[in-house]
A and B are shown apart, each in its own frame.
Chain A
C-alpha cells in the first residue's frame, strides 16, 4: 500500500514563475554575502565589521553614492556588450580586451587631434573606439564562424594581448614626457573630455549606457535581426533551417558586442581618467559577464544589476583601507553567480500541491 508522504511535488515548468525569477537573484545575493562572511570569519576577519564598512562607505555618503554610479557606467555598457553575444550563445569572454582596445583607439584620437573642439572630438572618439573594440571582437569571430574555433579561449587570450599592448603604449611611445616618468599618457585636451553632472564625477557615459540599453532592448525584441539572434541562440538547427546565416550573424554580433565594450573603454578614459593609464579597468569586462548572466541577458535589467555591482566595487575599495585586497570582491561576485546557477534549477521546476486525485490513489 502506497501513501502520499509529502503533499508537494516538484514538476517541470516551461515558464519560470515571476515570483521565482525575482526571488532567486535576491536570495542568491543574500546567500553569497552569508557564505562570503563565513570565508572572511574563517580567515580571522570580522565579516560584519567589514560589511558594515562597505555599506556605510557606499550608502553613507554622497561620495559613496556618486562613486557607485561612476563605477556602474562601464559595467552597464560592457554588460550590454557581452550580454548581446551571450544571447546568441557566443561566449565573448573578451570584453576586457575590447574595452582596452576601445580606450586605446579613443586615446589615439584625443592625442592626435587635441586642438579640435568637443563637437568634433567626442563623436570622433566615440566612433573610433567602437571600431577599435569591434575589430578586436571580430578577430576571434572569424575563426569561430568558419572553422569552429572555440571563442572562449581565443577571446580570453586576446584580453592579455590587449592589456599588454596598452602597457607597451603607456610605458613607451605614448608616455607623457611631462609625467615625471609615470606610465601615463598626456592629459586629454578639454575637447576630449565628456561633460560631468555638476561638480560630481558622474559623466555623460551614464546617458550612453541608458541609450544603449534601450536601443539593444528594441533591437532584440522588436527587429528581425534581434529575432534572428535569439533563434540562433536558442536553436542553431532551427535557425539554419529557416535560412538564417549563422556565420554572418556570428561576425556581426561579435563586431557589435566588441564595439559596445569598446565604448565602455572610451567613456572610462574620456569621462573619468582623462588619459590612458595601465590598470584603468579593475576587470570590468569580467564583472560584465556576471552582470549579464544575473540580469538574464535582459538589457534593461542589466542596468539594475550593474548598479548593484558598482556598489560592490566601491565597497571593495572601502575595505581596502582595512587591509583586505580589493580583489576580494571577485570572490563575492563568484559566489553570487554560484547561487544564481544553483537557483536556476528552481526556475525550471515548480512546486505543486498534490490534490485529491493523488491522495485517492494513495489510499486505494
Chain B
C-alpha cells in the first residue's frame, strides 16, 4: 500500500464520516435534552431528497442545504409534538418518523431518480492549510460543509460543557423536575433541541445527495441514520468524541469502497456488511466500557416529563 492510497482512504473517511457527524451531533443535542429520536434515518432521507430537489431546481446547492435543514427541522417538530406535548412513547414515535420519512422521500424523489446534479458543492481551497503535506489533502481539500463541521463539533462541545445554556440543557436531560423548579422551561427547551437535532440530520442527508453521491436514489441513506444513533452512544453524548467516531465509521465505509475498487478476492456483499457489523461490535465494546466507568445516558432519556407527576 502506497502512502497515496492511505491518504486517499483517510480523505474519503472524512467525507464519508461527515453526514454521520452532522446527524450524530444533532442526535446528541436531542438526547442531551432527554428526548430519544430514532427518526434520524427518516429525517436524513427527507433532508437528502428536499435538498436535492431544490438544488436541481435553482441550481444553487446552498439553497438545497438550507431547505434540507428546514425539512429536517419540520420532521423533528412532529416528534417533539408527539413526545413532549402528547408524552407518547419515544421509541415508537421515532420509528414512525423513520417510516414516514422513507415513504415521503420516495414519493417526492420519484421524478428525480437518474437526474444529475449540475452544480454540486465544490471543494474550497483554503490557503496555507490545504497545502500542508499529508494533513492538507486529508483534512483541508474538501467542501465547505466538511470545514463547517470541523467548527461545529467543538462549538457544540463548548456550548454543552462551558455555557449557562448548556448547563440548563444537561439539567433538563438529567433531571427535568429539578430543572423545572429552577425556572428552566423544560418543554420549550426540549422542543428546541429536538428541532435543532432534526435540522442537523437534514444537513447530513443533504450532504449525501449533494456531495457524497451526488444524486437521489430511493433509500440512499442506507442505515447511516441508525449508525449515527449508535455513534451517540459510542461518543458518550460528547460532540468531540462524535467527531472521532464519525471518521472511524466513515473510514470503515470508505475502506470497503476502496477495497472493492482494488479487486480484492472478497465478495462485495461482505465488504458492504462491514459498517453494520462494525457498528454492532463497537456498540457491544463501548456499552461494556461505559458500564464499567459508570458513564451513562442522560438520566431522563426516554422518559416523558409530566408536571402533574412531579
Contact = CB atoms under 8 A, between A and B. Distances in A.
A286 B38 CA distance: 14
Interface residues of A, number: 47
30 contacts: A39-B107, A43-B108, A152-B91, A153-B226, A153-B233, A154-B280, A156-B223, A156-B226, A160-B222, A164-B270, A167-B269, A172-B269, A325-B109, A325-B110, A327-B218, A327-B219, A330-B106, A331-B100, A331-B102, A331-B104, A333-B99, A334-B96, A334-B98, A334-B104, A337-B95, A337-B100, A338-B96, A341-B82, A344-B86, A344-B88
Interface string A323-344: 1110111111111011001101
Contacts of B110: 323-325
Given A154-B280, A172-B267, A341-B82, A160 B97 contact: no
A261 B99 CA distance: 19
Contacts of B279: 153, 157
B225 to A, nearest CB: 10
A293 interface: yes
Contacts of A171: 269
Contacts of B179: none
Which of the listed residues A91, A152, A157, A332 has the most CB atoms from chain B within 10 Å of its own CB?
A: A157
Q: How large is the interface on B (under 10, 10 to 19, 20 to 34, 35 or more residues)?
A: 35 or more
Contact of A168 (B229, B270, B276, B287): B270
Nearest to A348: B87
B251 interface: no
Which of the listed residues B87, B219, B276 has the most CB atoms from chain A within 10 Å of its own CB?
A: B276
Overall SS of chain A's interface? helix
Contacts of B78: 338
Interface of B: 38, 42, 78, 81-82, 86-89, 91-93, 95-104, 106-110, 218-219, 222-223, 226-227, 229-230, 233, 267, 269-270, 272-273, 276-277, 279-280, 283-284, 287-288, 291
Interface string A264-304: 00000000000000000000001001100100000000000
B74 to A, nearest CB: 12
Interface string A133-177: 000000010010001111011101110110011011001100000
B82 A334 contact: no
Nearest to A331: B103
Contact of B284 (A147, A152, A165, A342): A147
B107 A325 contact: yes
A91 B265 CA distance: 37
B104 to A, nearest CB: 5
